[in-house]
Amino acid sequence: MPKVPWGYSPSSAVLDRFLKGRKPGSSILPALPAELIQQIAACLPVYALRNLRLTSKEIEAKTLWYFAKAYFRSMQFMHSRYALEALVAVSESRMGQYVQTLAFGPASNDQGSVVFCQGKPLPARRRTELEDNMWSYAESNRYMRLSGQDANMIDTALKNLRGVTVLKFLEDCNCSQNHISFGGRYLDEKVGGGRARFQKTTLDVNQSMARVFSIVLHAAQDAKLGIDDIDASITYMYVYRETSPSLPIGPFQQSPLTVLHFRNETAYLESTLSGYSQCPLVFPTPCTTPLSMVPGFSNLKGLRLCVGYHSYFWSGPHSNRFLKGLKLFLNSAPNLEVLGLVFSTIAGGGGSIWSLLSALSSSGALHGLDSFELEGLWINSNQLFSVLRPLQGTLKGLELLNIKLTDNKWVGLLIWLRDNMRQLREIDIDNPDVRTELPRWVCYAGSDMKGFLDDKIDKWSGVEMFSDEDSYDSGSD
């Protein structure tokens, strides 16, 4: 594999001399306004745009803004050696200054056996060649993770990428879209030749996205980056196994940040492929030296986390460490406005997850929070009220997505919100169980929250089933 991927490497010595030795353009194209040249650039594929930029210094300068915005402002890299070497190359190039959103993932699920796609059988020699390529790829990645080389590359890159303000962590989509991050196309077309792939297996600790999350956040703190948003959440898809495993029930937003999780009639089916179930999230320890009086994440406005480590859901040291680490991290982010917690495994076992949430909300760590988002949680209404009660004086936004109220008191929830959450201006509540006598979706944004809730409570009290036609209100005055 090349040490630096083609298309992302800094200029070679020959190309550098060529670029500096170009004469001013003499045709009509370099004289056109920058806006018009950028419109032309937007219609070209990347290889044609690259050739256009080489023609003259004027065109290169006039297309720089579009080129940087289209290909470098937001970048995504798999957790593989090939992709992380490209990340370091980008950070050391002149285009690194334009990177603002940096995404890591999905994890390189490369420790399974090699399986070949259906179709025309490959010759034995070609099959052996592909298997050898994929074995070498997997072993290179495994050694990189075991030796900590991935942490060193991420640390080096973030020290150079001074403009990064948004960090994202991408879970495995478990579908055919394996080219969403840099490194995916290389794995599919070069390593596997488009005919072979790794069989999905349970990720080990070194492959987990929880480990990548911890490495990146520690590196961002060491680099003193002005991070204002961290998104390590996932999105659910629901199906009923008794009817059709391929038919989604409920909202499913397929995006580069989507991971599939499935539920049956009574419980979530735990995903062994989840990158957050192998090890706990480790948050950076706030710096306390005299030279670092400003908190390390003082610019942070939004934080969304996937809570998927199995030991979090039972009382014990792991749950306590997670709570303590999260509270310390939140203290280093005094300007936090939005906190989202997504639970990627069954959270209804025992009361420990409710106890964790209740302890978090009552600790004062969420003081001043504008919006609170919970997803994938199994809880009864009284437990949910105890979590929200300490926030009722300040909370302005509330999202309860794919929440299973075990006592089915959804109308009681609306009544409690009306009577206690007087500062609410926006709510988004989704009940995934469409067979209950409960509202399917309650969504509102506006200044008359009490009137909206009164109307819904009056309509739904005593009604057995509800249609989706009356489940949404835009809140326009």
pLDDT of 162-173, one tens digit each?
Answer: 999 999 998 764
Q: Which two tokens stand for residue 89?
A: 């190359």
If one counts the domains in the chain, the total is 2
- Judged on CB neighbours under 10 Å (0-12, 13-18, 19+), 197 is buried
Whether residue 194 is contained in a domain is answered as no
Same domain, 315 and 445: yes
The verdict on 380 and 234 lying in the same domain is yes
Asked whether residue 364 is assigned to any structural domain, the reply reads: yes
Within a domain: 191:
no
Whole-number pLDDT of residue 286:
75
Q: Quote the mean pLDDT of the chain.
A: 78
CB-neighbour burial class of residue 238 (10 A; exposed 0-12, middle 13-18, buried 19+): buried
- For 228, the domain range is 85-95+145-171+203-268+276-470
Same domain, 415 and 309: yes
Does residue 319 sit in the same domain as residue 443?
yes
Both 454 and 325 in one domain: the answer is yes
In a domain, 125, yes or no: no
291 within some domain: yes
8 pLDDT higher than 50: no
* 5: Cβ contacts below 8 Å, ≥ 6 apart: 82, 85, 86, 89, 182, 186
Residue 288, classed as helix, strand or coil, is: coil
pTM here? 0.81
Whether 157 and 63 share a structural domain: no
Q: Is 90 found in the same domain as 51?
A: no
Q: pLDDT by residue (tens digit) across 380-389?
A: 899 999 999 9
For residues 423-440, average pLDDT? 72
305 and 404 co-located in one domain: yes
Would you give the distance in Å from CA 257 to the centre of its chain? 5
User: Considering the domain boundaries, does residue 116 fall inside one?
Assistant: no
Let me know if residue 5 belongs to a domain: no
Do residues 338 and 370 touch, judged by C-beta distance below 8 A?
yes
| 456 located within any domain | yes
Span of 139-153, 340-354, 388-402, 451-465 with lowest mean pLDDT = 340-354
Structure letter (DSSP) for residue 130: H
157/240 same-domain check: yes
Torsion angle of the four alpha carbons 150, 207, 163, 95, in this order, in degrees rounded to the nearest 10? 60
Same domain? For 348 and 458 the reply is yes
pLDDT above 60 (res 33): yes
pLDDT at 476 over 60: no
334 and 464 co-located in one domain? yes
Residues 314 and 460 in one domain: yes
